[in-house]
Chain A
């Protein structure tokens, strides 16, 4: 049990338990070929990385201290709520997900654990599981719950594990924070011969609706729109991450 691991940690790096996710086919929302993609089996952290875990990481790797982080890797909001380089903000919950971290920082964190960030497709595959079903895409009450959680303010300060545990044993895939993925911006940089700067328009042009695979999956629209709005050096209060690993 991961929570048990926390209580034993003291100040050393906590190991988050990984759970196996069975691979399968997935239809991405903005599938350009409207085709299915295959996702291999992989492992995923059962919790998002927490504030205290990230603090341990920064202690070990001082190049990721707020004062040392290069702006091309992390903009001015990096760890902006912390009191100092090695101290969380007084109002911060140590067991809440780490947020205000960039993609570069998240990637480095996972690499230092001998892990990696999940891809969008891996993340979506794991996230479509409800408590009881591996694929709850067509469960309207599950989708409604997800949308409601996206609309609820200030969920980033809740303790990891405080929402629901899904079919794979993964907690909080929806309900706490957005999560970085390794290829979050790949939906914009398509292989198609579009004009420069045109690719991202499908997120706000009504064209989005016509190319989407599931018109009613508003929750997915919101995730893909969010991913489309960010850059790798952004640090956002509602954006954290968890790590993955190939099997």
Chain B
């Protein structure tokens, strides 16, 4: 694939050729008719949506002129509990607005760089056949806008991203999103569709360190991510932000990976993907447990939900899920079907864990940390420890996960014995216990927390969700330690 550029440097020529390969990967067409020849009929404004939502399906509409108007915003956003970050965004969200087109559409794309932004940007859409995927025509300074157009020649799900130097940094700050090109007639109808994109982030402070965290160039070069998240933050798809469905519905997830560095082993705990459009293309694989999505790639994942409950979306490179944030939730409501799912979870291969460094039951040792001045401060500090360490299993409202992780809310087991609760946080717990009349047989790892942190998180738990309100002090924790 040569373009006849006469570059003085051979190395440059090679590199740019590779670059263009990406941009025009699909100039051959397998659809029988040449998509170049599809005529457009009329003009529409593209509906753009922020994640996890996607625009309406194209259905049976003919190819049209599609007007896309996208604004670039550099803005502070929420990364994790107490942690914020300056995101660079397409359309104000990470990932950027979802663009939905059909084969043969002629897209008139206007890229606007907000006047308050400090940097120039551009956009490289992998769905574009042409130099730089649009990047060479869309380089725009702050306070300016630029328009270019392209025809969608290949159906599929494609990543778009900023390609302005330093490219890695623009992507690392969140400048990526997905553009879907549906085949003529549209994709088969499903009940629910969602938009999810994984990204890795590199911050000056380590995971969980509070405050506005600047980008860390060295960590990015070393590929040493502090956060690996879906949709730009650790809680974009958890708790009340979870995506939802009802039993019997078919779900389609448009899953992309912005990177910049890490490939995603995308998996939904407790589900099998009925169909995966491998790499976002034409090939459909069936009955897939985990699908690999490289940075700058995407996949379309479809499955029918047969059982109610919370299904956890993870990057199955599992420390990323439980320690760096690559975790989302799909809440399915409806009637249980005993033949599909009997009610006993068999999640023996990996145990969801919290964000702090953990050791197996029995070990001890922890660094020192700042101390709370009052009960309310203790509760406040405890809340963020809970979010990092306990929430993945015991859930946002302490409700736990039925049959797997016992509830902390209105928990008879918890309220009966404070010392026992301290011991469990310090040393972990294995074996069968009964909480609020139900049996649980699982493993909780020992938490590597300071006495102060143990006191804070337990005080938070005791003061929440209808529990006894006991304050746990560092002295009480220390006494329990020496009791062993």
Interface residue ranges, A against B (CB under 8 Å):
77, 140, 143-144, 147-148, 150-154, 178, 192-195, 198, 200-211, 216, 218, 221-222, 224-226, 228-231, 234-239
Q: Contact check: which of B141, B163, B218 meets A236 at CB < 8 Å?
A: B141
Interface residue ranges, B against A (CB under 8 Å):
5-9, 11-12, 15-16, 18-19, 74-76, 86, 115-120, 122, 124, 131-132, 135-136, 139-144, 163-167, 169, 173, 214-218, 221
Do A192 and B8 touch (CB < 8 A)? yes
Do B119 and A154 touch (CB < 8 A)? no
Q: Contact check: which of B19, B122, B166 meets A222 at CB < 8 Å?
A: B166
Q: Contact check: which of B7, B15, B116, B141 meets A153 at CB < 8 Å?
A: B116
Instruction: Give the nearest-CB partner of B20 in chain A.
Output: A205
The 5 A-B pairs of least Cβ separation, nearest first, read A229-B120, A229-B141, A221-B166, A221-B165, A225-B165
Do B144 and A153 touch (CB < 8 A)? no
Q: Contact check: which of A77, A147, A225 meets B115 at CB < 8 Å?
A: A77
With A153-B116, A221-B166 known, 7 other A-B pairs at CB within 8 A are: A147-B217, A194-B7, A200-B136, A206-B18, A221-B169, A222-B165, A236-B141
Using known A-B contacts A198-B5, A203-B165, A206-B15, determine if residue A229 contacts B140 with beta carbons closer than 8 Å: yes
Instruction: Give the nearest-CB partner of A229 in chain B.
Output: B120
Do B122 and A204 touch (CB < 8 A)? yes
Q: What is the total of A-B residue contacts with beta carbons within 8 Å? A: 129
Instruction: For residue A242, give the distance in angstroms from its CB to the closest CB of chain B.
Output: 18
Do B74 and A153 touch (CB < 8 A)? yes
Do A226 and B141 touch (CB < 8 A)? yes
Do B16 and A205 touch (CB < 8 A)? yes
Do A211 and B141 touch (CB < 8 A)? no
Do A228 and B19 touch (CB < 8 A)? no
Chain B residues near A238 (CB, 8 Å)? Answer: 117-118, 142
Do B217 and A225 touch (CB < 8 A)? no
Using known A-B contacts A147-B217, A148-B214, A216-B221, determine if residue A237 contacts B142 with beta carbons closer than 8 Å: yes
Using known A-B contacts A151-B214, A211-B9, determine if residue A201 contacts B15 with beta carbons closer than 8 Å: no
Q: Contact check: which of A204, A210, A226 meets B132 at CB < 8 Å?
A: A204
Q: What CA separation (Å) do A193 and B6 show in the bound complex?
A: 9
Q: What CA separation (Å) do A104 and B7 show in the bound complex?
A: 33
Chain B residues near A152 (CB, 8 Å)? Answer: 86
Chain A residues near B18 (CB, 8 Å)? Answer: 206
Using known A-B contacts A153-B86, A207-B12, A218-B169, determine if residue A225 contacts B120 with beta carbons closer than 8 Å: yes
Using known A-B contacts A150-B119, A226-B119, A237-B115, determine if residue A204 contacts B163 with beta carbons closer than 8 Å: yes
Using known A-B contacts A203-B139, A236-B142, determine if residue A195 contacts B5 with beta carbons closer than 8 Å: yes
Chain B residues near A218 (CB, 8 Å)? Answer: 166, 169, 217
Q: Contact check: which of A144, A226, A228 meets B217 at CB < 8 Å?
A: A144
Chain B residues near A235 (CB, 8 Å)? Answer: 143
Do A154 and B116 touch (CB < 8 A)? yes
Instruction: For residue A235, give the distance in angstroms from its CB to the closest CB of chain B.
Output: 7
Q: What CA separation (Å) do A223 and B139 show in the bound complex?
A: 14
Using known A-B contacts A204-B167, A234-B141, determine if residue A210 contacts B217 with beta carbons closer than 8 Å: no
Using known A-B contacts A153-B118, A229-B141, determine if residue A203 contacts B15 with beta carbons closer than 8 Å: no
Interface centre among A193, A200, A206 (most CB of B within 10 A): A206
Q: What CA separation (Å) do A226 and B118 show in the bound complex?
A: 9
Chain B residues near A193 (CB, 8 Å)? Answer: 6, 8
Instruction: Give the nearest-CB partner of B214 in chain A.
Output: A148
Q: What CA separation (Å) do A153 and B214 show in the bound complex?
A: 12
Q: What CA separation (Å) do A192 and B115 show in the bound complex?
A: 34
Q: What CA separation (Å) do A61 and B57 show in the bound complex?
A: 58
Interface centre among B75, B76, B217, B218 (most CB of A within 10 A): B217
Q: Contact check: which of A77, A204, A224, A236 meets B139 at CB < 8 Å?
A: A204
Instruction: Give the nearest-CB partner of A230 in chain B.
Output: B141
Q: What CA separation (Å) do A229 and B144 show in the bound complex?
A: 10
Instruction: Give the nearest-CB partner of A231 in chain B.
Output: B141
Do A205 and B19 touch (CB < 8 A)? yes
Do A207 and B136 touch (CB < 8 A)? no
Chain B residues near A201 (CB, 8 Å)? Answer: 16, 131-132, 136
Chain A residues near B7 (CB, 8 Å)? Answer: 194, 207
Using known A-B contacts A151-B86, A237-B115, determine if residue A205 contacts B132 with beta carbons closer than 8 Å: yes
Instruction: For residue A150, give the distance in angstroms from its CB to the closest CB of chain B.
Output: 6
Do B116 and A237 touch (CB < 8 A)? yes
Instruction: For residue A225, give the distance in angstroms from its CB to the closest CB of chain B.
Output: 5
